[in-house]
Amino acid sequence: MKGAVLAIGTELLLGDVVNSNAAVLGKALAAAGVEVVANEALADDLPVLVAAVHRHLADVDVLILCGGLGPTRDDLTREVIAAALDAPLKRDPEIEQRLRDLFAGWGREMPDAVLAQADVPAGAETLDNSAGTAPGVWLEKDGKVVVALPGPPPELRAASTTVWPRLAARTGRVVTTRQVLVHGVGESAVAELVEPGLVLPNGVGMSYLASGGLVRVRFTTTGDPAVLDPLVAHADAALGDAVWGHDSDTVEGVVHDRLFGAGQTVAVAESLTGGALSAALSARPGASTTFRGGMVVYATDLKSSLAGVPGPLLDASGAVAPDTAAALAEGARTRLGATWGLAVTGVAGPDGQEGKPVGTVFLAVAGPTCEVLEARLPGDRDRVRALTVQSALHLLRRHLMSGKV
């Protein structure tokens, strides 16, 4: 069963918004056993969109339309379906009533334009959208399935919950993906380590994904998932300590699970990352069991007054220095009462600092085991900040996995 995703909105072509829905929909379709053959974005242009629906339906069994279900004049998806599939729009009194009730509940007067969201193509089912006003649409015609979902991500999630099980039931074919997650080794070096002696069975796909200093080795099959086990074992053996997780593991998740399992906690003192390291450690549900809190010591004087770096040390070494990083980690550990203190200080740019170039970063962990690292990180301010967060999380992860605890 083949599928295509067509995201609708001139803002996507102009680059005003990032089309994150494309990834969400691709992942959901792949997991439901639908082979996604195209993922396209087109402008709010009725004839262009109608032609695209016809073009895609010539190739695929399932077409997901995303966006363009809102109340404004540039929301065309309902009209596109009506025109492309000869399914004239009819106002649904139940949806109209729900819209009126919603606005009444909010104590707001309902703009008339909102009622367009109660118009449903003939022969279509609507998909409840508990997160917004525009319901989704499921329409079957000539053996093809066309689904229209709202663009705002929370509404897309809400309106699509019933879509994926229905599609999976039709394909009866599930794609299994296994990933080996690597840190500290480049993409081509990973390939050179993994590929000797590796034999891919028929129907097994393999690829490398490199991003943000990490490399993922991915194996996929639509057959027996067990064929992937020896391949993952081969990669694990070939990559050794560079492997930090598998499949959907995140480094925050690995850190959280290790801390939780050991009944330990972490606290942060961070400078150049400005809060992003704490935000990463607090992102997942249950973070409060392992993350105490953090100090964002952006101004140099706060490194002493808030985080407790001795003034003479700070004066002598400066804000960007290994012993300052170590003192920040110790300050986080003691002042915030955690098992581990994790600290970063460095130069995010655009300009150098204390004679040190952009990308100079010192990372420190203080606790049952201690370490200070210097890193030279590539890229601009945003990238240096993002890579610093990842490097700090992996520094703590190594200590939690080292067994020295």
Q: Considering Cα of 221, then 225, then 231, then 233, what sign does the dihedral take?
A: positive
* 95 near its own copies (CB under 8 A): no
Residue closer to its own copies (CB basis): 65 or 87: 65
The residues in 128-147 that bind its own copies, with binding defined as CB under 8 A, are 131
**84 CB burial (10 A radius; 0-12, 13-18, 19+):** buried
The stretch among 87-95, 148-156, 363-371, 393-401 that binds its own copies (CB under 8 A) is 148-156
* 102 near its own copies (CB under 8 A): no
* 376 near its own copies (CB under 8 A): no
Q: Measured between alpha carbons, how far is 206 from 30 in angstroms, rounded to an integer?
A: 15
* 46 near its own copies (CB under 8 A): no
* 335 near its own copies (CB under 8 A): yes
* 344 near its own copies (CB under 8 A): no
Residue 154, helix vs strand vs coil: helix
Phi, psi of 70 (to 5 degrees): -75, -175
The stretch among 118-126, 223-231, 271-279, 393-401 that binds its own copies (CB under 8 A) is 271-279
Q: Out of 101, 192, 229, 374, name the contact with its own copies by CB under 8 A.
A: 192
- Let me know: does 48 contact 42? Beta carbons within 8 Å: yes
Residue closer to its own copies (CB basis): 74 or 86: 74
Please give the helix or strand (H or E) that residue 291 lies within, else none. strand 291-296
Residue closer to its own copies (CB basis): 148 or 387: 387
Closest CB 403 distance from its own copies, rounded Å: 27
**94 CB burial (10 A radius; 0-12, 13-18, 19+):** exposed
Binding residues for its own copies, how many (CB under 8 A)? Answer: 100
The residues in 155-184 that bind its own copies, with binding defined as CB under 8 A, are 177
Residue 205 C-alpha from the chain's centroid:
23
* 22 near its own copies (CB under 8 A): yes
- What are residue 180's DSSP bridge partners? 217, 246
Q: Which residues lie below 8 Å from residue 218, measured CB to CB, with a gap of 6+? A: 177, 178, 179, 180, 205, 206, 207, 208, 209
* 197 near its own copies (CB under 8 A): no
Q: Which of 355, 362, 344, 213 is nearest to 272 (CA)?
A: 344
The stretch among 110-118, 227-235, 320-328, 362-370 that binds its own copies (CB under 8 A) is 110-118
* 262 near its own copies (CB under 8 A): no
**Other beta carbons less than 10 A from residue 298's beta carbon:** 14
* 79 near its own copies (CB under 8 A): no
Closest CB 164 distance from its own copies, rounded Å: 12
Q: Out of 88, 123, 154, 225, name the contact with its own copies by CB under 8 A.
A: 154
* 32 near its own copies (CB under 8 A): no
Residue closer to its own copies (CB basis): 70 or 136: 70
Going from the C-alpha of 118 to that of each of 15, 182, 374, 400, the distances in angstroms are 30, 49, 59, 54
Q: Out of 77, 160, 221, 278, name the contact with its own copies by CB under 8 A.
A: 278
Residue 270 C-alpha from the chain's centroid:
23
Q: Measured between alpha carbons, how far is 322 from 343 in angstroms, rounded to an integer?
A: 10
Closest CB 40 distance from its own copies, rounded Å: 5
The encoded tokens of residue 328 equal 């920040």
Residue closer to its own copies (CB basis): 6 or 139: 6
* 58 near its own copies (CB under 8 A): no
Q: Out of 122, 169, 210, 237, name the contact with its own copies by CB under 8 A.
A: 210
The stretch among 165-173, 226-234, 300-308, 393-401 that binds its own copies (CB under 8 A) is 300-308
